[in-house]
Structure 1
Amino acid sequence: MTRIQLPPTDRSPEVDFDFDGGRLAMRGESYPEDAAAFFGPLLQSLRGYLETPSPEPISFDLSLAYFNSSSAKALMNLFMPLEDAAAEGRPVTIRWHFAEGDDTIEEAGEDFAADFDHARFEMVKDVVA
C-alpha cells in the first residue's frame, strides 16, 4: 500500500503512514479549517489497509501539541478501526506522546485511552530539556 507522507502546515500535523512497515505517526498541531477534508483520505486509506487481515503489528505514534474538537473527533474515527483490528487479534499499539507538564494533552490522551479494550494505549511523557 502507498505510504502517506504529508508535511506539517500552520494548521495541520505532519503525517507519516508507513503501511508496509505497520508504523503510523502524526506530529505537530491539528486544527485544519476542514477536518473532514484533511482526515477523510487518511481514514479511507487506513480502512483499506486494515481490510486485508494480517498478523503484523501496527504502531501509531501521536505527538500533538494542540488539536481542536473537530480533530479530536477525527482522531477517534482513526482509532476505531484500529481498535476493531486489535479485537480481531492484530497487535495494535497507540502511543500518545505529551510534553512533561502539558496537563491538557495528557488528560486528552487519558480520555482517549479509556475507550480502548483491545488495542494497547500507552501514555508517553516526553521530557523537555
Structure 2
Amino acid sequence: MDRLQLPQTERSPLVDFDFDRQRLRLEGESYPEDAAAFFGPLIAALDRYLERLRAEPPAAPLILDLRLAYFNSSSAKAFMNIFQRLEAAARDGVEVQVNWHYQTDDETMMEFGEDFREDFQAARFELCVFD
C-alpha cells in the first residue's frame, strides 16, 4: 500500500502513514478549516489498511505516534474515529500501539492523552513525555 504523506501546515498536522513499516504519525497542530475533508481520506486509507492487516496480521505491531501541540474539537472527534478503528482492529487480533507524546510541562496534552487512553482495552496506549 502506498505511503501517505502530507506536509505540516499552519492549521494541519504532518501526516506520515508508512503502511509498509506499520508506522503511522501525526505531528504538529490540528485545526483544519474542514476537519472532515482533511481527515476523511486518512481514515479511508486507514480502513483499507486495517482490512489487510485483519486478513494477514503482521508479526510486528502497528504503531501510531501522535505528537500534537494543539488540536480543536473537530480534530479530537477525528482522532476518536481513528482510535475506535485501531481498537476494533486490536480486538480482531492485530497488535496495535498508540504513543501519545506530550511535552513535560504540557499538562493539557497529558490530560487529553489520559482521557483518550480510557477508551482502549485491546490496543496499548502509551503516554510518552519529552522535553
Task: Give the alignment partner of residue 97 of structure 1, picking from 84, 95, 101.
Answer: 101
- Hey, which bits of structure 1, 4+ residues long, moved more than 4 A? none
- Aligned pairs, number: 127
Question: What is the DSSP-based 3-state SS (H/G/I as helix, E as strand, rest coil) of the residue aligned with 2:77?
Answer: helix
User: Which SS does the other structure have where 1:20 is aligned?
Assistant: helix
Q: State the TM-score, normalizing by the size of structure 2.
A: 0.95
Q: How does 1:30-69 map to 2 (within 5 A)?
A: 30-52=30-52, 53=54, 54-56=56-58, 57-69=61-73
Identity %: 59
> Which residue pairs with 2:10 in the alignment?
10
Deviation at 1:90, TM superposition (A): 1.0
Instruction: Please report how far the alpha carbon of residue 82 of structure 1 lies from its aligned counterpart in structure 2 after TM superposition.
Output: 0.6
The residue type equivalent to 1:5 in the other structure is Q
**Unaligned regions of 5+ residues in structure 1, if any?**
none
Q: TM-score, normalised by structure 1?
A: 0.96
In proportion to residue count, which structure has more helix?
Answer: 2
